[in-house]
Amino acid sequence: MKTQVEEINRNIYDIKNKDEYDFKIKKGITKEIIEEISDQKNDPEWMREFRLKALEVYNQLEMPTWGPDLSELNMDEIATYVRPKTKLNTSWEDVPEDIKNTFDKLGIPEAEKKSLAGVGAQYDSEVVYHSMKEDLIKQGVIYTDMETAIREYPELVKKHFMKCVPVTDHKFVALHGAVWSGGSFVYVPKGVKVEIPLQSYFRLNSPESGQFEHTLIIVEKGASLHFIEGCSAPKYNKVNLHAGCVELYVKDGAYLRYSTIENWSKNMLNLNTKKAIVGKNAQMDWVSGSFGSKISMLYPMSILNGEGAKTEYTGISFAGKGQNLDTGFKVVHNAPNTSSVVNSKSISKNGGKCTYRSLVRIKENAKNSKSSVSCESLMLDDFSISDTIPVNDIQTDEVEFSHEAKIGKISDKAIFYLMSRGLSEEDAKAMIVRGFAEPIAKELPVEYAVEMNNLINLELEGAIG
Amino acid sequence: MEKLKLNETPVRTSRNYNMNNIKLENIEIPAKIPSFNNVQITGNNSKVSIDSQTSKINLKYGLNKKLLEQLDLYANQKLKLTIDNKTNKETIINFKLDEKEPILLDNIEINANEQTNATVIIKYETTKNVKAFHNAVIRTNAKKDANINIILINLVNLSTDNFISIQNNFEENSRINYTIVDFGGKSSVTNYYSNLVGDNSDNQMNVVYLGRENQLFDLNYIGELRGKKTNFNMEVQGVLRDTAKKHFKGTIDFKKGCKRAKGNENEVCMLLSDTAKSLALPMLLCSEEDVEGNHSTATGKMGEKELFYIMSRGFEYKEAMKLMVRARFNEILDNIKNGEIKNEILQEIDSKLD
Amino acid sequence: MSKLLEIKNLHVNAEEKEILKGINLNINKGEIHVIMGPNGSGKTTTANAILNNPEYTKTEGKIIFDGQDITDLKTDEIARKGIFMSFQLPEEIPGISVTNFLKYAKNKATGKPVKIFEFKDELKKYMEELNMNPKNMERSLNVGFSGGEKKKNEILQMLVLNPKLAILDETDSGLDVDAIKTVSKGIKMFKNDNNAVLIITHNTKILHELKVDYVHVLVNGKIVKTGEQDLAEEIEENGYAQYK
């Protein structure tokens, strides 16, 4: 039997606006270009120096020697800074019509009204909209764009900026350090529980350009937050680059859930870096849905530094024609009684390639730690690829570690069972695929679960669910 | 003294994980290879012919080029076994390295003809204190419908470097049961590659390893499923104590066309000390839809409840521990039907745990 | 009596091996039929062949249902014509709850949108009758269900989908006495003059609870004897030895 699940419906995401901008830097990465970005952005001196230092590191580091082939990426062809024709706004009314329309179609203002406590929206290299509910402001929660944060909370930013993810981590982090622009800054004071999620949405419209937003979140002791990140771009013929960086500080007893629905266009190289430092008895949960991009290399990481710290990763990737999604999770157990749970799923179809690549490292001092990993891969045809490449590094004996992985196709028996109840073959397969993705969908807020299901486009809407 | 880089994985991953290969320092690769005669071949198999006409070494993987070249040019033991019997009989090849002959480069080629059935036991041991060097290549070709058991036993001492490259080729309906008992060596580095080309071919691979003191095991096992309805099953049970260390790299690679193939990989490592280290990379690579692939790994210490139960029956800790390790290994060691050899292995387990 | 199912000289292969070697069977509306036979005689193959499971190949013969040739229809088309099969080993489908699945399947069966409240009431009623734990409804279809729960869930699906012909493949096997009673109760609730039931079994316990019209003995891919309820009793006493 041949499986046919519809291609992801991208109509909404593919709407291109004219490449209009206030300023677009010339292509390439040189000292002059970095200095010009710094000038354009009115950086404080320390940031200017930081960028130049990062550039030096970038020039020294080599490209990854593993994973997807990145040879089509030519940094001389990428404009790393594109400032849209608007300033930062706090009301959608003030956002220029074409940009606002884009976010309307993506459902952002609507979601803000219905289910979010705050929203940030970035268009190309700058944040064009930021707003948060009044009561959170009163409780001392800060949610703003990174540029404002640098101006208004310089000490807080300086203390944390690229300390969790140092520029020496890898080449694209160094690049990010040199050219970063936009992104969100969140600070949740001690004990404050933000009950409704905050969301930042990143939209890259400009062709042959890159987006390098920086997200920095600090959740203080005993506080909690759910942060959602969405991203998309219309499709162009030449490659675009996304090399964002997410740094999360989850202090003692705090809770942070970081959800991502990534739906970049299929000309995007998504080389993103996300890392969390998790304190004593704190918990960091990742929910990650990867659907878009031509190539993704994305491995969120939790460093469990405090005793009793916990982390969970729930991820799904869906690779179709021409896509190579190399994703996974990394966790370092660096204190006693820490625990991690990983649940990863992937679907490969129509020649797409999914790779699950991971690291579980339990260090010698992490006595009584637990880690359990489960990954499942579904092959929907015989010309797609699915690889599982997990590294498990166990350095002490007082641990419980287990890893399970499965690979295979949709069971013919299950299809027959559902068909015997009157479902067509397509419906039966779609239902099984949707059931396969369900553990991830249920981790997402309802609107996003719906968006994910739309993305899989199983056309079961209304009938099921 | 040289720095040796060997045992590359089929797919690279981040260099920081130290999994792409192993680099060994201070390895003395002998430049001059003296002769080696201390080999005993016994058994009840009259339909095995043995000569030294081994073919040119041409492996897809292997440990590294240099070690394979050395074997091709200077092997001091060449054994080509041609198997013709239909009922399962046993051949035992026993190499013993000692002060007089501390260097062994053996090139073993096992050709099992159509519909044959045989067991080949290959055992390496050393005298107690010799600092020996062992480099081997073992190739097996299983013709149509052949059914071969190979049992590889490494009992060399802890001053010896042990290098083994293995390659198996499978014709239609052939089956190889490969059992590896990997106990010896300062460093024991094995590259194992099965090429399951023939439809319905089957490879059961069972490994036990047991490390103590500063031993290092680097195990790179690769199964490529190419034929239809092929089956590759890898079961690895290990125990590490003291500061012993193992790198396990297991790959099941479903190649395009291997419809209805199955691959299983189970790797379990018991740590008996908080300074023992277990690094594992169990890979599943898949370019075919109609397959079933599973892998599972588990690492941890001995079950405390079981230990308590056994000790409550009057066993002291060490005895209880031995019992539990034996229990772990038992299922795999049951593949060894030769009572004498099995006993020797059980004794080795006990002495390694003392 | 009007004809519902007619099987004519059916030959079926599984993995190249001939399992059914010419089966003939007629089932009218309002009847309960039983096919009995030892392990490996072709009972499950018969059920799967009616539903046209692609794992089995029909080499000869015809299946007529409700006046239409369904021999080569796809499984879902056959199901939508009104044939239901209760599986011996129901598949586990993770991520889809029993309620959602049934709602969807019912929708497909009737071609009309399901009225949610009526549907839930109906479901609740049936579940009470079948002694089922209402919590199971929100669990994934058959995932982690015990053997008995799976079988009851099959009967529940039969009641909800209300087919013209229900084929119960070893629905009684592995069940305790109480569960068998519950299953029989489900069959009685389902049965009326306009539908029919085909029970496939290798033991006779379930037959104590039901009144059946015909018993067919299937041995080595052929129906070797057809009788009434007393034939089942005879087999219970003497086994299949005499038919081999």
Contacts of A383 in chain B (CB under 8 A): 256, 287
For strands C93-97 and C140-141, give the pairing: antiparallel
Helical axes C98-110 vs C116-129, angle rounded to 10°: 110
Tokens of B66: 């240099």
Helix, strand, coil percentages in chain B from 3-state DSSP, rounded to 5: 15, 50, 35
Q: Which helix (H) or strand (E) holds C226?
A: strand C222-227
Average pLDDT over residues A47-69: 95
The CA-atom distances, in angstroms, between C207 and each of C10, C187, C210, C233, C235 are: 26, 11, 5, 9, 12
CA distance A414 to chain B (A): 14
Task: For chain B, give the percent of residues with pLDDT over 70.
Answer: 99
* DSSP code at position A79: B
* Coil, strand or helix at C30: coil
In chain A, positions 382-421, which contact chain C (CB-CB < 8 Å)? Answer: 411-414, 416-421
Lowest mean pLDDT among A52-61, A228-237, A357-366, A370-379: A228-237
Q: How high is the pLDDT of residue A429?
A: 86
Q: How high is the pLDDT of residue B306?
A: 80
Q: How is chain A split into domains, by residue range?
A: 10-298, 411-465
Q: How high is the pLDDT of residue A455?
A: 63
Contact call for A423 and C54, based on CB within 8 A: no
Contacts of A414 in chain C (CB under 8 A): 91-93
Q: How far apart are CA A22 and CA A124, in angstroms?
A: 11
Q: How far apart are CA C33 and CA C216, in angstroms?
A: 8
Decide if pLDDT at A4 tops 50: no
pTM: 0.86
Q: What angle do CA B172, B178, B181 make, to 5 degrees?
A: 175
Lowest mean pLDDT among B148-162, B167-181, B224-238, C173-187: C173-187
Three-state SS string over B42-110 comes to EECCCCEEEECCCCCCCCCCCCCHHHHHHHHHHCCEEEEEEECCCCCEEEEEEEEECCCCCEEEEEEEE
Contact call for B294 and A395, based on CB within 8 A: no
Q: How far apart are CA A285 and CA A283, in angstroms?
A: 7
One-letter identity of residue A70: L
Chains that touch A (3 or more CB pairs under 8 A): B, C
Q: CB of B7 within 8 A of CB of B63?
A: yes
* Coil, strand or helix at B317: helix
CA distance B202 to chain A (A): 19
Q: CB of A308 within 8 A of CB of A281?
A: yes
Helical axes C98-110 vs A425-441, angle rounded to 10°: 160
Q: CB of B166 within 8 A of CB of B191?
A: yes
Q: How is chain B split into domains, by residue range?
A: 2-304
Q: How high is the pLDDT of residue C21?
A: 95
Q: How far apart are CA A118 and CA A416, in angstroms?
A: 47
Q: How high is the pLDDT of residue A11?
A: 62
**Residue owning tokens 């001690």:** A190
In 3D, which of B223, B206, B187 has the Cα closest to residue B10? Answer: B223
Q: How high is the pLDDT of residue A384?
A: 92
Q: How many pairs of residues across A and C have Cβ atoms under 8 Å apart?
A: 89
- E strands along A55-115, which residues? 82-83
Q: How far apart are CA A143 and CA A200, in angstroms?
A: 10
pLDDT in tens, B23-62: 998 888 888 899 999 999 998 877 888 998 999 999 999 9
Q: How high is the pLDDT of residue A8?
A: 47
- The answer to whether A465 faces chain C, any CB pair under 8 Å, is yes
Chain CA centroid to CA A179, Å: 19
In 3D, which of B222, B217, B220 has the Cα closest to residue B239? Answer: B217
What is the CB neighbour count within 10 angstroms for residue B92? 20
Q: How far apart are CA A465 and CA B20, in angstroms?
A: 45
- The answer to whether A458 faces chain C, any CB pair under 8 Å, is no
User: Backbone phi, then psi, for B10, in 5-degree steps?
Assistant: -65, -30
Q: How far apart are CA B151 and CA B333, in angstroms?
A: 10
Decide if pLDDT at C244 tops 80: no
Q: How far apart are CA B141 and CA B110, in angstroms?
A: 6
Q: How far apart are CA A110 and CA A106, in angstroms?
A: 9
Q: CB of B204 within 8 A of CB of B295?
A: no
Q: How far apart are CA A295 and CA A309, in angstroms?
A: 32
Lowest mean pLDDT among A84-98, A169-183, A245-259, B186-200: A84-98
The CA-atom distances, in angstroms, between B226 and each of B230, B233, B285 are: 7, 14, 12
Average pLDDT over residues A16-30: 88
In 3D, which of A253, A257, A255 has the Cα closest to residue A448? Answer: A257
What is the CB neighbour count within 10 angstroms for residue A6? 12
For strands B48-51 and B77-83, give the pairing: antiparallel
One-letter identity of residue C4: L
Residue from the list B259, B282, B300 with its beta carbon closest to the beta carbon of A399: B300
Q: What angle do CA C230, C235, C241 make, to 5 degrees?
A: 145
Decide if pLDDT at A362 tops 90: yes
Lowest mean pLDDT among A153-162, A245-254, A414-423, C115-124: C115-124
At residue C233 the predicted structure's pLDDT band, cuts being 50, 70 and 90, is confident
Q: How high is the pLDDT of residue C9?
A: 96
Average pLDDT over residues A271-291: 96
Task: For chain A, give the percent of residues with pLDDT over 90.
Answer: 69
At residue A459 the predicted structure's pLDDT band, cuts being 50, 70 and 90, is very low
* DSSP code at position C92: P
In sequence order, what DSSP letters do the residues of C131-182 get, joined into one string?
Answer: T--GGGGGSEETTT--HHHHHHHHHHHHHHH--SEEEEESTTTT--HHHHHH
Contact call for C105 and A423, based on CB within 8 A: yes
Decide if pLDDT at A335 tops 90: yes
Average pLDDT over residues A204-212: 90
Lowest mean pLDDT among B25-29, B126-130, B348-352, C129-133: B25-29
- The answer to whether C85 faces chain A, any CB pair under 8 Å, is yes
Top-confidence residue, C203 or B97: B97
Q: How high is the pLDDT of residue A6?
A: 43
Contact call for B289 and A401, based on CB within 8 A: no
Q: What is the rounded average pLDDT for all residues in chain A?
A: 90
CA distance A347 to chain C (A): 15
Q: How far apart are CA A449 and CA A460, in angstroms?
A: 13
Residue from the list C78, C93, C105 with its beta carbon closest to the beta carbon of A435: C93
Top-confidence residue, C124 or A285: A285
Interface residues on A facing B, Cβ-Cβ cutoff 8 A: 64-67, 357, 359, 364, 367, 377, 379-409
At residue A10 the predicted structure's pLDDT band, cuts being 50, 70 and 90, is low
Residue from the list A425, A437, A463 with its beta carbon closest to the beta carbon of C76: A425
Q: CB of A198 within 8 A of CB of A229?
A: no
Residue from the list C54, C76, C95 with its beta carbon closest to the beta carbon of A422: C76
Average pLDDT over residues A70-76: 92
Q: How high is the pLDDT of residue A451?
A: 67
Q: How high is the pLDDT of residue A148?
A: 94
Q: How high is the pLDDT of residue A281?
A: 98
Average pLDDT over residues A189-210: 92
One-letter identity of residue A357: R
Q: How high is the pLDDT of residue A174?
A: 97
Average pLDDT over residues C179-208: 89
User: Backbone phi, then psi, for C127, in 5-degree steps?
Assistant: -65, -35
Q: What is the rounded average pLDDT for all residues in chain B?
A: 93
Decide if pLDDT at A454 tops 70: no
Average pLDDT over residues C144-168: 92
Decide if pLDDT at A319 tops 50: yes
pLDDT in tens, A76-116: 999 999 999 888 999 999 999 888 988 888 888 888 888 88
Helical axes B339-353 vs B317-333, angle rounded to 10°: 150
Write down the number of H helices and E strands in chain C: 7, 12
Q: How far apart are CA C73 and CA C86, in angstroms?
A: 19
Q: CB of B122 within 8 A of CB of B138?
A: yes
pLDDT in tens, C8-42: 999 999 988 999 999 999 999 999 999 999 888 99
Average pLDDT over residues B241-252: 96
In 3D, which of C160, C101, C154 has the Cα closest to residue A434? Answer: C101
Decide if pLDDT at B311 tops 80: no
Average pLDDT over residues A404-429: 91
Strand order in the sheet with C56-65: C17-28, C3-14, C56-65, C68-69
Q: CB of B48 within 8 A of CB of B82?
A: yes
Helical axes A171-179 vs A45-60, angle rounded to 10°: 150
**A382-415 as b/e, with b when 16 or more CB fall inside 10 Å?**
bebbbbbbbbbbbbbbbbebbbbbbbbbbeeebb
Task: For chain C, give the percent of residues with pLDDT over 70.
Answer: 100
Q: What is the rounded average pLDDT for all residues in chain C?
A: 90
One-letter identity of residue A301: M
Give me the sign of the Cα torsion angle C52, C54, C56, C62: positive
